[in-house]
Amino acid sequence: MEKEGYLKELALRVIAAFAVLFSYNFVYIIIAPLTLHFSYFFFSIFVPSALVGNKIATLTDSFEFVPACVAASAYILLALLVLLTKDISWNERLQMIIYGSLGILAFNVLRIELLLLTFFSLETAYDTIHLFVWKFMSTAFVVLLWLGLARLYKVKAIPVYSDIKALAGMIRKK
């Protein structure tokens, strides 16, 4: 009976993970306005600016808020890591996704703020810094966030691997 319960729970997690894979637009619709308005709010404290559509405009420059700024894929990666890890209750999964998403939102707004402020002080290095933060630090943050959540919630399993190991053990016992 334990085996059947595990397999049903695994199937439900895999179905939920597939649903998350196809939820990019849904995540974007929810997170984009939050990210844009929080970024604008904090930026306007330091630099006189206005929010014009999806742009933050200053007296001299305008910064377009493009879909990549939202980092929707980071939210999806976090949800996949949580869903594809065995031995976590559904209540803890939901908590991990909520707290992790708030962490991603906070980090992303901070990232945008620092990049905008960097533009004014280090304009010549802006593109290099932007690419480094976008490609490396954002991914590293999601991994570190996952590790922090796993430690906080005392998760012992490894995403995907622990399920493969459990399934292989069930096959060997046959």
**What is the per-residue pLDDT for 150?**
96
How far is residue 47 from each of residues 99, 110, 121, 151, measured CA to CA in Å? Answer: 30, 15, 12, 38
**What is the per-residue pLDDT for 123?**
66
Nearest to 158 by CA among 143, 172, 170, 141: 143
Nearest to 75 by CA among 146, 165, 12, 164: 146
Mean pLDDT by 10 residues, the chain (174 residues): 86 96 91 94 92 92 86 92 96 97 94 83 72 76 93 95 91 79
Beta bridge partners of 168: none
**What is the per-residue pLDDT for 22?**
92
The size of the chain, in residues, is 174
**What is the per-residue pLDDT for 81?**
95
pTM over 0.85: yes
Beta bridge partners of 56: 51, 63
- Secondary structure class of 86 (helix, strand, coil): coil
**What is the per-residue pLDDT for 68?**
82
Rounded CA gap, 170 and 166, in Å?
A: 6
**Burial (CB count within 10 angstroms: exposed 0-12, middle 13-18, buried 19+), residue 10:** middle
**What is the per-residue pLDDT for 174?**
67
